[in-house]
Structure 1
Amino acid sequence: MTFANPNEATKAAESFSQLQGVWRSQGYGKILLIEGGRYVFFEETAVSCRKLYSGTQAELALYFEDVQISPRKQSFSAHRATGVTRIGFRRLKALPPTAFDERNKESNDPEYNFDLFWHTFAEHYALFELKGVVWDQSYHTFRPRIDPSCPRETLFANMAAMLRPLRDGHIRLYTPWGHYSAGARPALYKRLESELEGAHDDRGIANYLGELRERLHDLIQDDYLGGGVRHGANHTVDWGQLSATTGYLNIRAMAGQSGKIGHPADDLKVTAAVMKTVLAELGDLPNLVVDIRGNGGGYDGVALRFASHLMDRKRLAFSKSARHGNGFTGQQKIHVTPPNAETYRGNLYVLTSELTASAAEIFVLALLQHPRLTLIGEPTQGILSDTLERHLPNGWHLTLSNEIYRSYDGQIYEDVGIPPHIRLQFLGRKGREEGRDPMLDRVLKLVRG
């Protein structure tokens, strides 16, 4: 994978050469061993310290950049090359005893896997209070159901039952034979399901939604943009002109701009290039619609890069803190900074829906201080935290929300989503029957005064 640029990687490698020893991350549950030109990462809980992956010191430098070391070399922090997070580490005298206890553990033991699973959430999940879930109680309820002879299906079913009340789209449990997602079901799905039932239509929701989204896409391109649509960034970006005064920009995802999977540095470069082109064509118009109704996320860094080309000046985008012990790490402030050129100066109309999720919501957070911003549509999905990936001894792995994001004014939009200024239903039946996009119609009405 391509993460840091070569110059940053060289600097990071030089810094890591000064950091021989054992380090514990502040939040994120990682132990890092740097020794003899190599490194080992471990995942830690109160009952485990399991080796995750290892490699050369030069390879470690591809994952981090801008390493800052304390004067006595007892702590350091580094910016994660795949996102916007800076993670702090503190020196330990030695590896935790649990790192050596792992040798005596049976990797497929259901009881051990259950305990590690429970501790992973107990120590790292950030939203129990917000979700109103008492995780300690789940242990007392479900632990008696797990014994040494417990089948894998029973273990999986109990874990899924524990996760279900959290209703968090960033929680997933993966196994070689299936996976479980704990996300809440969007109201849109319920509306469409009711339509299908009323029409005695046996199509699945996913297929029906896909068809409706494709129809809307064609409607916008053919009727609203008059066929004059441009595509770029591996078809993750479309743009055109709605009227003599109003441009249109559709950002489909916050990853994949380079056409490569898992290459955020390349995605960032392509994002900057495509926005330069977009603004060369639309930047002088007094109004710009940014459509992220179907954007399910990607990289926060890409979201911020898009936002930077739309922001009037450097502003606080949000702050974030990670679960750490019984509390949280200090709040890390993230700013959105416009480039020297290619910055849009007009009125912004951002269209959102329940499908606007994750890094797409970070894009909205980054623009909330924009002085000429109007949000139109539905509240976003409300899954803003980065996903922390963790692994179980039996080969299963999972993701969870371990961070709290706060907007510039301290608001938390996890679970509830970021609300629009003007609320309109996405893919509402009336608009579809009339062959119109009510959100774009509202924008056009607003700009006409």
Structure 2
Amino acid sequence: MKLNMIAKVKNIKSVFIFFLCSVFFSCHSDDDQSPPEDPMNGFWLIADKGYIVEITDDKDVVYSVSNAGCVVLNSGFKIEDSGITLSVVNDNELVGITDQSLSNFKLTRLVNLDKRCLPEQLSKTKDPKINFDFFWNIFNDYYAFFELRNVDWSAYENLRDQVTEDNLYTILEELVLKLEDGHVGISDDEKDIDINSGTSILLERLNANLSGDLIIESEDDFDNIMIQKGRIIIQNYLGGSYESDDTETIIWQIINDEIAYVNIFGMAGYGTTINNELTTLNMVLDKMMNDIKMSGVTKLILDIRFNEGGFDKVSSDIASRFTDQQRVVFSKKARLGDGFTEDLNVSLGPKGAFQFTDDIVLLTSPLTASAAEIFTLYLKDLPNVTIVGENTNGVFSDVLEHVLPNGAQIGLSNEIYSDAQGEVYEAIGVGPSTANQVPFLSNDDFLNNKDGGIDKAIEVLNK
């Protein structure tokens, strides 16, 4: 069983997807001579991600590499769908820049293609033991949270001896579930396999205050209870109507003379393509912020309890409408060998003609995941912001995707995010003080046709 959250977060907040989209490169021509060699042509290593990118005039290929060997990750790019551009730093270094991610990508030139990726060495096999080797080694090489999640990965390498064609995915699922990480998963369309490490613990959290027919046991149950929850909010708190963007990914309404309500359902899906995502988003934000300004309200509820993630830059652009000064809010680093890359400090500053800096309550839940949790990091230390609800999901890292020799895709957490004080919230999530803890889903709310989180938010704002 797979909840919507698992699919959306895994597919959107992914480093690998940018390289699946395309690589930009320059071509120069002269009527009197042959085109010179493109300076980007060649083999390039992205060490912290385990990728080798081959750029030629005819085609571009991305390889997945680990201590187990090499597999073709993608054999062709679609430039027209690109969300990334490559720039030459020097003869031996490129940098990849994208509007959707907070991180740039460093590519280091290789003189020759890694021997593991030569045609005769490439792995493309359904042999279960070889596929287990690749799975174990990819996690061993790139996963960032074994210690934090209390898993001794080395203890499971000898499971290889037990692997057969029939039990491969059963054994891999056992390993995946030990991590309890919503950004860890395996999918094999050919065998109808879709395993996520975080589903069980998420269900436990969502069902903690539910009983009887309200218990979530399937994706249909999840969808139905989300619809019920949404109806209660719209009818009982928003007066049956609201303003929104074209896709209703963000909605807003004035609750009363003092309080406005904004629900951000996702950190992606505002544009029609990856290239106009942020432009479209900021047009929507301009309208929303103007509506809030013109209403004269002095208090705001920001609801991200339904928000399953998306692009970090979307989170940044939305958060920028709620601060009036530049500040460092968190840092991030990626696993690199036995250590990590240098910390990247991330700042938040104001954008737009108007920033709301009066009292804000931020509503969070176990569904608040990935890029929505980055949004929480942006706002949590602002003096005018109070968090109400439950701890967020605890999956901050971009999803690093690799592929096994049998074609199965795997995703894992490769990055560590720390707040401005150096605290890491992976596996824990960011949450409210004890006094402001309110369950996202509860028997009481559905029985009494109310939303305890919004009620508590109004109470906090009225103090």
Report if TM-score (shorter chain) is over 0.5: yes
Compared CA separation, residues 96 and 249, structure 1 to 2 (3 A): same
How far is the alpha carbon of 1:332 from its aligned partner? 1.4
1:386 corresponds to which residue? 398
Give the Cα separation in 2 of the matches to 1:68 and 1:286.
Answer: 48
Give the Cα separation in 2 of the matches to 1:241 and 1:49.
Answer: 55
**Does 1:65 find its partner at 2:85?**
yes
1:30 corresponds to which residue? 51
Secondary structure (helix, strand or coil) at the match of 2:354 reads coil
The residue correspondences of 1:345-364 to structure 2 (distance < 5 A) are: 345-364=357-376
**Greater shift after overlay, 290-299 or 201-210?**
201-210
**Does 1:179 find its partner at 2:163?**
no
**Does 1:342 find its partner at 2:354?**
yes
**Does 1:162 find its partner at 2:175?**
yes
Give the Cα separation in 2 of the matches to 1:41 and 1:278.
Answer: 41
Compared CA separation, residues 14 and 414, structure 1 to 2 (3 A): farther
**Greater shift after overlay, 18-27 or 118-127?**
18-27
Give the counterpart of 1:376 among 385, 388, 395.
388
Give the Cα separation in 1 of the matches to 2:354 and 2:85.
Answer: 26
Deviations 1:90-127 (A, max 9, x none): 22221111112654755112121111111110001111
Give the counterpart of 2:285 among 275, 295, 301.
275
* Normalised TM-score (structure 2): 0.85
Q: Does the Cα contact within 8 Å between 1:308 and 1:337 map onto a contact in 2?
A: yes
**Does 1:94 find its partner at 2:112?**
yes
Larger relative contact order (CA 8 Å, sep ≥ 6): 2
Gaps of 5+ in 2: 1-16, 29-36
How far is the alpha carbon of 1:163 from its aligned partner? 1.3
2:71 corresponds to which residue? 50
Q: Does the Cα contact within 8 Å between 1:40 and 1:53 map onto a contact in 2?
A: yes
What is the letter of the counterpart of residue 180 of structure 1? I
What is the letter of the counterpart of residue 378 of structure 2? A
* Normalised TM-score (structure 1): 0.88
1:437 corresponds to which residue? 451
Q: Does the Cα contact within 8 Å between 2:100 and 2:314 map onto a contact in 1?
A: no
Q: CA RMSD in A?
A: 2.7
Give the Cα separation in 1 of the matches to 2:195 and 2:227.
Answer: 27
Give the Cα separation in 1 of the matches to 2:216 and 2:142.
Answer: 39
**Greater shift after overlay, 278-287 or 99-108?**
99-108
What is the letter of the counterpart of residue 373 of structure 2? E
The residue correspondences of 1:12-411 to structure 2 (distance < 5 A) are: 13=26, 17-36=38-57, 38-55=59-76, 59=79, 62-65=82-85, 67=87, 69-70=89-90, 73-100=91-118, 102-103=120-121, 105=123, 107-140=125-158, 142-146=159-163, 150-151=164-165, 153-176=166-189, 177-183=192-198, 184-186=200-202, 187-191=204-208, 195-196=211-212, 204-258=217-271, 260=272, 263-283=273-293, 284-411=296-423
How far is the alpha carbon of 1:130 from its aligned partner? 0.6
Secondary structure (helix, strand or coil) at the match of 2:386 reads strand
Q: Does the Cα contact within 8 Å between 1:64 and 1:80 map onto a contact in 2?
A: yes
What is the letter of the counterpart of residue 255 of structure 2? L
Q: Does the Cα contact within 8 Å between 1:291 and 1:351 map onto a contact in 2?
A: yes
Give the Cα separation in 2 of the matches to 1:104 and 1:291.
Answer: 48
How far is the alpha carbon of 1:14 from its aligned partner? 6.5
How far is the alpha carbon of 1:89 from its aligned partner? 1.9
Compared CA separation, residues 417 and 224, structure 1 to 2 (3 A): same
Secondary structure (helix, strand or coil) at the match of 1:240 reads strand
Give the Cα separation in 2 of the matches to 1:257 and 1:104.
Answer: 39
Deviations 1:337-378 (A, max 9, x none): 322423223222110011111111111111123231111100
How far is the alpha carbon of 1:53 from its aligned partner? 2.4
Secondary structure (helix, strand or coil) at the match of 1:94 reads coil
Compared CA separation, residues 314 and 207, structure 1 to 2 (3 A): same
How far is the alpha carbon of 1:383 from its aligned partner? 0.6
Give the Cα separation in 2 of the matches to 1:37 and 1:319.
Answer: 39
Gaps of 5+ in 1: none
Percent of aligned positions with the same letter in both sequences?
28
Q: Does the Cα contact within 8 Å between 2:374 and 2:396 map onto a contact in 1?
A: yes
